[in-house]
Amino acid sequence: MAHDIFSLAGKVIAVVGAGSGIGEAIALGAADQGAAHVACLDMNEPGAAATAAQITARGGKASAVAMDIADADATRDCLEQLAAAHGALDGLVCTPSINVRKPILAYSGDEFDRVVRVNLRGNFNVLQAAGRIMTKQQRGSIVLYSSIRSLVTEPGQSVYSMTKAGILQLAKTAATEWALLGVRVNAVGPGVVETPLTALIKSNKDWYDAYARKSPMQRWAQPSEMVGPTLFLLSDAASYVTGTIIYADGGWLAADGRFTPPGM
C-alpha cells in the first residue's frame, strides 16, 4: 500500500487561532488528515473549545487551551505542556493578526505598538517557543501566516503590511537556522479571505466588490481554501520545502491591472 505523503497520521498538531476563521478551518482539516491530536489554541477559549468539540464529534482527538501569543511566558508554557502531554509537537500553525487601518500621519504610538505586539512579537513568541521544542526533538514543521501585504500594500495598511513582511522574514531566518536540526519553517500568504478580521470590508459592498475584482478569480476566498496549502507544508509532501511562502491569493499578485484588451 502506497504511503500517503499528505497524511498527518500520528502527528501532534497545534493550531494557534483555532477559535474562528482560517485557524478553525485548519484545525478541522488537520483532524480530517488523520492528526493524532489537534491542539486548538486561541485567546477566545470558547471558540477554541467549539472547534475542538467539532473534531471530537468527527471521531478525532483534540483539546482547547486559552493562549495569548503576545505573552511570551504563557506561550512557552502552553506549548511545552502540550508537547509533554502528547510526547511531541510535530506541527504548528499560527494564524492570528490584528489591523488598524489608518493613514501614517493619523497613526498613534499606542496603535502602532498594539499591532506590532500581536503581529510581530506574538508570532516571534510562538516561533521561538515551538522552535525550542522542535529543534530538541530534531523534527517538526512550523507555518506562520503572512499575507499578500508582505509584497504589496495600499493606503492605510502601513503597519499591518510592515508586520506581514516581518513575519515572512522571521520564517525565512528560522528556516536557515534550524534546517540541519530537522525543523522546517514556512509561511502562507492569503489574499482576501472572508474572516472576522475582514468583516468591516464585507459590510461595505463597494469595498468588498473592489477587492473581488482585483483578483483574476473575481472573488474572495473562504477559510477552507487556506487548508490545503497549510496542510501541505505540515506534511511529509513538503519535506524539502523550507524558508519560503505559498501565496494563496487567487492570482492577486500575478495581475497588474484590471482591464482586458479587446480580442483577448
- What is the pLDDT at residue 202? 86
Q: Is residue 1 part of a domain?
A: no
- When pLDDT is cut at 50, 70 and 90, the band that residue 1 belongs to is very low
Q: Is residue 95 part of a domain?
A: yes
Q: What distance in Å separates the CA atoms of residue 103 and residue 234, rounded to the nearest whole number?
A: 37
- In the set 107, 160, 211, 240, the catalytic residue is 160
- When pLDDT is cut at 50, 70 and 90, the band that residue 260 belongs to is low
Statement: residue 258 has pLDDT above 90:
no
Tens digit of pLDDT for each residue in 173-208?
Answer: 999 999 999 999 999 999 999 988 788 888 899 999
- CATH code of the domain in which 99 resides: 3.40.50.720
- When pLDDT is cut at 50, 70 and 90, the band that residue 211 belongs to is very high
Q: Is residue 40 part of a domain?
A: yes
Q: Is residue 101 part of a domain?
A: yes
Average pLDDT, the chain: 95
What is the mean predicted confidence (pLDDT) over 203-218?
Answer: 92
Q: Is residue 253 part of a domain?
A: no
What is the mean predicted confidence (pLDDT) over 127-145?
Answer: 98
This prediction's pTM: 0.95
| Domain residue limits at 135 | 12-247
Tens digit of pLDDT for each residue in 74-103?
Answer: 999 999 999 999 999 999 999 999 999 999
What is the mean predicted confidence (pLDDT) over 20-46?
Answer: 98
- What is the pLDDT at residue 264? 58
Task: Name the domain count of the chain.
Answer: 1
Q: What distance in Å separates the CA atoms of residue 112 and residue 116, rounded to the nearest whole number?
A: 6
The percentage of the chain sitting over the pLDDT mark of 90, rounded to a whole number, equals 91
| Structure-derived torsion over alpha carbons of residues 44, 42, 230, 159, reported in degrees to the nearest 10 | 80
Q: What distance in Å separates the CA atoms of residue 263 and residue 31, rounded to the nearest whole number?
A: 47
Q: Is residue 6 part of a domain?
A: no
Note if 160 is an active site residue. Answer: yes
Q: Is residue 4 part of a domain?
A: no
Q: Is residue 2 part of a domain?
A: no
With beta carbons less than 8 A apart as the criterion, state whether 32 and 58 touch: yes
